[in-house]
Structures are given as structure tokens and as C-alpha cells.
Chains A and B, each alone.
Chain A
Amino acid sequence: MNDQTVLQMNHIMKIYGNGVVANEDVSLELRKSEIHALLGENGAGKSTLMKVLFGIEAPDQGEIILKGNPVSIKSPQDAISKGIGMVHQHFMLVPSLTVAENIILGVAPKKGLFIDMDKAVEAASSIAKEYNFDIDVKQKVEDIPVGIKQKVEILKALYRGAEILILDEPTAVLTPQETDELFVQLLKLREKGHTIIFISHKLDEIKKICNRATIMRNGKSMGTYEVENITTQEMSRLMVGHEVSLQFEKEEQKLTDEVFLKVRNLTINNSQGVMKVDNLSFDLKGGEILGIAGVEGNGQTELIDTLTGLNKKYKGEILVKGKDIQNSSVKDIREMKLAHIPEDRMTSGCAKDLSIQENLFSNQYKDGKFSGRFMMKKKAIEKRSDELIKEYIIKCKSRKQNVGMLSGGNIQKVIVAREFSTQPDIIIANQPTRGIDVGAAAFIRKRLLEFRDAGCAVILISADLTEIFALSDRLAVMYKGKFAGFFTDVEKVTEDELGQHMLGIKRDDVLEGVTYD
């Protein structure tokens, strides 16, 4: 406690309905006139903590003390009325309305029955002027660039009297120039006595403008530090370190001669035209696991979507067992014995309103073993389903139960069973154990190793560094669409080193062992 303290969150605990502990005994103290960084990887619990502060989620335990008084914040409106504003990553703006209209939405000044538009424009421009925001408030939001939209969001919060401003990864969508401009503005806000919570995992930005930083990992707070007294190396260690290492028996590696997957100069732009994968090349042989680590959003999703044929817009070359897949459909690629465990099991992994059996066969229902000319072979399918349920220890009432009724771990097992049951040569596993129980995770990891030992090529993308370290034969770190680091001897890699590559502090220009040429 400090006489400058404006807000305290003490011992916040939040457990979601599915049993995920998002916040465990987290405390945060905010002072007047400070920019306070909230630092952590995706899934570390930053967003949950802010949702609690902004009244979107109710904490299971803990208290919030605002200017010395305990308060309960029940809704975003409640938060706003208490002087807490939030700028979401996805802007909460109405595109066809003007800047002024967006700012006064819900609290419009009136003249008789009508909105007093003159007054609204005046109020909006005067608040913009007060904080030195150079914005034409009569422009429509759909016509202004992202950087200005963000300013509108900040003004919206200020217009409603926000003293504490939560910025959720504000620089993620900005160009470097816009970022600089935002920082100038944030420093001005600080001068005027506002408190800013700056959520980020970009260490250089935190170094640049933040006073203090609270670092989170796995739902816990790793402490609050004065930014000038902590190095970026220390921050990255606190952020990405892991507690226990996993032990797996790994057999001697037996690499195939054939290169199963060959990627050359792969460049992918997303639908907004932003380059997500930048001239990437690598090879993969049978009998090895290539681990790809990296902070989310550095091109992993785009890379996987392209390798599996979901995205067709790319430059460069992808050869699956020597065959260019530019004109191959997802089905063609799967017939080349490539299996894919998707990142998001609920949206692209399964059909949650179909039964376990139907999900298990969604990738092979046309196979002659299970389908005749017109009708599916019910008996064969039922028999195989029961076998798979047993083999993969899927806990369920029967094969007819809907997948959506199962727990996360068992849903993931259904997907893994489906993908592995086709005897693949290449497995692309994207976050295969995220958010599932320890037992199911261990089972899936063991299976991946078995496939490796049997001569299968595996790409493993995971946010769980313990898993990456334990399973990978070669290890790549993705940063801004490139491999910022590449390691052929995983045992020699330290966590520190990995963390620095993940956060872009260290970037290797020459990568050894990426290809087999």
C-alpha cells in the first residue's frame, strides 16, 4: 500500500466452469499517474484478470479496493461508472457512425426530442483537444485508419470519465509510427494523472513507456517489478519459464531417407494483406518431431492452415512426399497420409452435435472398409468405433453420445483417435494438449512419440514449452513469420535462450539444420 494507490485487486481467484483455473491468488496494485504493464503469454490469465476488473467476469474469491473502499464491480457499466475504462483488442465501434456519434453513444446530449448534434460534436472535439488527440470528429469511423479508431476508443472511455484505462494489447494492430504516436499520448495521459494498464508481451515497448510491470504465468502472478530495475532477460524468464520437466523414454532416432515434407520460400499474407509467414523454408523426414515454439500470432496458424490445404493463397513451394500441393484439396492432402489435429477443437476439430462414432469416421467414411457403394457399413463402423474408444480410453457412455457432451480431454482424444487411426505418415499437431487434463495430455504425448518411433514425421506446435522440450528432435522458434531460432540439439537449449527468441530479443539470421539439402 502506498498513498498513491488508486486500486488494489487482492488474492483474485477465478475458476471457469470447465475447471480451468484462470487466476490463482493474483494481486495487482495500481497507482495514480502510472503506466502499469501486465505481462504474460496467451493463456497466462491476463485477460481474465482484466475481465474481473471490468465487471465481465465475477471472481470466485478475492476483493477489489478502489481508492480505499472495497467495491464489487458487477458489469461493464458498473466499471465505467466507477471510472474504469477498457479499450478492447477488437474495437467496440459502430462503423457507419461518426467519431462524435460513437463517443456520445448511450449518453447523447439532447435538445428536445432530438440529439443535440452541435453540442455532441463540440463535446467530442473539446475532449480530443484536451488530450491532444488530433481527430476530425465528424468523420465516419469506417473511413478512418486503425490507429485513429483506437484513439476514438480511448476518447470514448475518457468522455465517460475513465481514470483507470485498460488497454488490451493496444499495439498489436498498429504500425510502428502509430505505436510511437500512441505512446506520446499515453505519456500525456499519465501526466494528467490517469492510470493505464498496458497489456502486452512486447518487452521493448514495456521498457519504453511503463513504470512498473506485473508478470503473469499459468494463472499466477510472478510479482510486480519496477521496470527500470529489471532486464528484458529477467522478464522473459519470469514469463515463459516452466516448473517441472517431463520425462519420456525416447527411442534412438531412426530417420527415413525420404523427405516427407519440404517447404521452400513459403510466404503467406492474411486476408487483410498483412504478411504472416515470411519466406520460410524447412524439411521434415520420417521419424522425427519438429517442435515449433512461439508466442501466439506469429504466423503459426497461417503456416498450419497452408500445410494442411485449408489456405490456398501462398507463395513458395510445399511438397508432401515430393508432390506439390498447390492444386491439391484438403482431401487429396489427407490421402497422402497427412493427419491434422487442429488448434481449436470445438470450431474445427469436431462436430459437437454429432456422436462420437460419427466424429471418429468423418475422415474415412468413404473408405471401402466402412462404406459400400451407397450405404455405410454399419457393423464395421460400430465395431471399429468401440475398438477406438477402448484403445484411446475415451470416457463416455456409449459411442452414440454426442461429442459436445464430453470433457475437453475426451473430445481431444476423439480427434486424436480419428486422426491417428488412418495410420498417417505426417502428423501436424497444433496445440494437441492445450487445456486438457494431465492424464489425457500424457496419453497423447506418448502416442506422438510412438508414431515418431514408427517412422512418422511430426510437426508439434505448442504453447507448452515443457511439452516442446520433452518431445522435439529439432526445435524452431517462430517470431513475426520467420524462424528466429532453430535448434538441432534440443537438450542444449536453455529456457532463457528460447524465451529470448520467442520475444524477438534474439534473432538468428543463419539457421543450421533447417533443411536437408
Chain B
Amino acid sequence: MWSAILSPDFFSTILRSTTPILFATLASSIASKSGITNMALEGIMLFSALFGVIFSSLTSSAWMGLIITMVIGGLIGLILAFFVLNLKTDEILAAIAINLTATGGTVLIMVAFSGDRGVSSSIKSISAPEVVIPLVKDIPFLGEVLSGQNILTWIAIIAVILLHLFLYKTPLGLAIRAVGENKDAAESVGISSRKIQYIALVLSGVLASMGGFFLSGGYMNMFTKDMSGGRGFIALAAASMGGNTPVGSLLVSLLFGIAQAFANIMQLTSMIPYEIVLMVPYLATLVGLAIFYYGQKKKKERLSGK
């Protein structure tokens, strides 16, 4: 097992497993920064995974498929925002509705397109390309890890930087943070909190949809039923642990990527039953949350003067 862990393959798997969670975690972060919990990430990812397959097949282009999927993701974010901000629906209930619609809706649409209710293998989808980096690919070990990753993995990392600049360096980012932290303060200087939260939720939907697209067009090459596998929910935990910052999101997502990569290796090498191995990422979430919030509680107690 140790040889498997020290192999470049393992590190490459970490990056691959991190990618969808990272997108979702960034999506959760930006929504939370504006003061809204976007629990619909799971549903958005699931829809996006399916639409990615369908539209890349229909347009015969991975890029067109990705762009259309991002638009749809943004639209779902818009729908969520409409329910929460205009109709004053409870944000959790609205999200549950979207998630349930995604679970049933994706199967329905898949049956309509492929006649199959489990996997979409009959649809000829096109995955996003892998990036072979010249020179780097010849470096032993590191080359094997970095070169040959899916382009979306790199886009995710670039997204971390862009989102950081957006949130901390632009007026709109400042407004998002102000609204999320003290709505009254923002409103008192003429910032429309509704407009800001609309923007944040649409961006959140777009980011989540990129994670969903990667699942069926990078991580795997087809759509399978319920393939988001709780990543949208793990992302909520991850974003919270990362302090809802882009850089924090990257670090915590990497931890979950490592947990996922371990699960993958254990499936191949260990004697532990397959079902238990599959639990690893979710257990990691639980343990991570416990440790994180215990630390937070201690810190609070210390600050409030015992």
C-alpha cells in the first residue's frame, strides 16, 4: 500500500479528486460571503454533469458544452435567488426542492436522450482535454503528477486566484463581503443587498456547474445516476472550514481530495470492505467539522476571557 501512496499516480489522483470539490467549495464560499447558504450545489452539480454530456455531444465540442452548462448553472443560481430573495422562501427549503428536482430530473432527461436510466454511455460526449505541459512532463515524478491533468483542474486553480482578486480587490467584491457581514451597514451606504446577493448566487451556480461538468467530462467520461455523490454537501462543510475564502477553500478541498484518493487506493489494495472504503470522504467531513468547530469554540472561549 505504501508504494501506491508514494507513487506519482496517487498525487495525480489527489488533484483529480480535488477539482470538483474545489469548484463546489468556491461556489459555496462566494454565496456564504454574501450571506446566503447555497445548499443547492449538489443539485446544480448533478444537472451540470448531465447537461455537460448532452451538450458536448450535441455541439460536438467540449468547450461549447462547458459554456452552455455554465449558463444553465447560472440560471439555476438565478432561480434559487428568485425564490429566496423575491419570494422569501426559506433558503434551505428552496435548495432541497432544487436538489430533489435534480435527482429525479436528471434520470428523466437521461432516459429521454439515451434510453438508459443508469449510465449515459450511449451518448457520445466529448470530455474536456488534458493538458500535457512540455518540459515539465519530462521532470521525473513531478511531471507525471502535473502534466496530463484535465484542463478543468487548472481552470479550478486559476479560479481560486481570480475569485480571490474579485472578492478582495474589486468594489463588487467589497460590496459582497459587506452585505454578507452586515446587511444594514451596506444598505445604509446605498448598496442594494438584493442585487449583490443575486450576483453572488449566479456566480455560485456558474462555479458549481463547472465542477459538475468535470465529473462527467474529465473525472469520468459519462454521466451516471447521482454521480455528484454528496460533493455539493461536502463543499458546504469545506467552505465553512476554509473560512469561506478562496485560498482556504483550496486548502480544505485538497484535504478532501486526499481522502478521496485514499479511498481509491484502498479499494484496490486493502482488505477493508469496499463499502467502508467508500465512506472515507464522508467520514473525513464529519471528523474535519468536529475538529474545526471544536477549535473555533475553544478560540471563542479564550477571546471572551474564559
| A positions within 8 Å CB-CB of B | 76-77, 80, 88, 91-97, 101-102, 105-108, 110, 113-115, 117, 156, 160, 273
Decide yes or no whether B189 CB sits under 8 A from chain A: yes
Cross-interface CB contact of B170 among A93, A102, A113, cutoff 8 Å: A113
A97 touching B190 by the CB < 8 A rule?
A: no
A92 touching B184 by the CB < 8 A rule?
A: yes
Residues on A with C-beta less than 8 A from B171 are 108, 110, 115
**Cα A273 to Cα B188 with chains together (Å):** 29
**Cα A321 to Cα B236 with chains together (Å):** 53
Instruction: For residue B12, give the distance in angstroms from its CB to the closest CB of chain A.
Output: 35
Residues on B with C-beta less than 8 A from A117 are 169
Instruction: For residue A166, give the distance in angstroms from its CB to the closest CB of chain B.
Output: 13
**Cα A77 to Cα B189 with chains together (Å):** 7
Mask: chain B, 179-195; 1 = CB below 8 Å from A; 0 = not: 00110111111110000
**Cα A151 to Cα B173 with chains together (Å):** 25
Decide yes or no whether B26 CB sits under 8 A from chain A: no
**Central interface residue in B174, B184, B189, by most chain A CB within 10 Å:** B189
A101 touching B174 by the CB < 8 A rule?
A: yes
- Name the 3 nearest CB pairs between A and B, nearest first: A106-B189, A92-B185, A108-B171
Residues on A with C-beta less than 8 A from B190 are 76-77, 80, 106
Query: Given known contacts A80-B190, A105-B178, A106-B190, is B185 in contact with A94 (CB within 8 Å)?
Result: yes
Residues on B with C-beta less than 8 A from A115 are 169-171, 174
B188 touching A94 by the CB < 8 A rule?
A: no
Cross-interface CB contact of A105 among B170, B174, B184, cutoff 8 Å: B174
Query: Given known contacts A92-B182, A92-B184, A94-B185, is B170 in contact with A106 (CB within 8 Å)?
Result: no
Which residue of chain B has the shortest Cβ distance to A90 in the bound complex? B184
Residues on A with C-beta less than 8 A from B187 are 76
A106 touching B175 by the CB < 8 A rule?
A: yes
Residues on A with C-beta less than 8 A from B186 are 94, 105-106
Instruction: For residue B213, give the distance in angstroms from its CB to the closest CB of chain A.
Output: 26
Residues on A with C-beta less than 8 A from B305 are 273
Return 27 A-B CB contacts under 8 Å, by A number: A76-B187, A76-B188, A76-B190, A91-B185, A92-B182, A92-B185, A93-B182, A93-B185, A94-B181, A94-B182, A94-B185, A96-B177, A96-B181, A102-B185, A105-B178, A105-B185, A105-B186, A105-B189, A106-B186, A106-B189, A108-B171, A108-B174, A114-B165, A115-B169, A115-B170, A115-B171, A156-B189
Residues on B with C-beta less than 8 A from A156 are 189
Instruction: For residue A175, give the distance in angstroms from its CB to the closest CB of chain B.
Output: 18
12 extra interface residue pairs, beta carbon distance < 8 Å, beyond A77-B190, A94-B178, A97-B177? A76-B190, A91-B185, A92-B185, A93-B182, A93-B185, A95-B181, A95-B182, A101-B174, A105-B178, A105-B191, A108-B174, A114-B165
Which residue of chain B has the shortest Cβ distance to A102 in the bound complex? B185
Residues on A with C-beta less than 8 A from B175 are 105-106
Instruction: For residue A144, give the distance in angstroms from its CB to the closest CB of chain B.
Output: 15
Instruction: For residue A112, give the distance in angstroms from its CB to the closest CB of chain B.
Output: 9
B191 touching A106 by the CB < 8 A rule?
A: yes
Instruction: For residue A72, give the distance in angstroms from its CB to the closest CB of chain B.
Output: 18
**Cα A107 to Cα B187 with chains together (Å):** 13
B188 touching A97 by the CB < 8 A rule?
A: no
**Cα A95 to Cα B178 with chains together (Å):** 9
Cross-interface CB contact of A94 among B169, B170, B177, cutoff 8 Å: B177
Residues on A with C-beta less than 8 A from B182 are 92-95
Residues on B with C-beta less than 8 A from A97 are 174, 177-178, 181
Residues on B with C-beta less than 8 A from A101 are 174
**Cα A97 to Cα B170 with chains together (Å):** 13
Which residue of chain A has the shortest Cβ distance to B305 in the bound complex? A273
Instruction: For residue B165, give the distance in angstroms from its CB to the closest CB of chain A.
Output: 8
Mask: chain B, 149-184; 1 = CB below 8 Å from A; 0 = not: 000000000000000010001110011011001101
Which residue of chain B has the shortest Cβ distance to A78 in the bound complex? B190
**Cα A106 to Cα B186 with chains together (Å):** 8
**Cα A45 to Cα B1 with chains together (Å):** 76
Instruction: For residue A282, give the distance in angstroms from its CB to the closest CB of chain B.
Output: 31
Residues on B with C-beta less than 8 A from A114 are 165, 169-170
Residues on B with C-beta less than 8 A from A95 are 181-182
**Cα A113 to Cα B185 with chains together (Å):** 24
Which residue of chain A has the shortest Cβ distance to B179 in the bound complex? A94
B189-239 at interface with A (beta carbon < 8 Å) = 189-191
**Cα A113 to Cα B178 with chains together (Å):** 18
Which residue of chain B has the shortest Cβ distance to A114 in the bound complex? B169
Residues on B with C-beta less than 8 A from A160 are 189
B188 touching A92 by the CB < 8 A rule?
A: yes
Residues on B with C-beta less than 8 A from A76 are 187-188, 190
Which residue of chain B has the shortest Cβ distance to A272 in the bound complex? B304
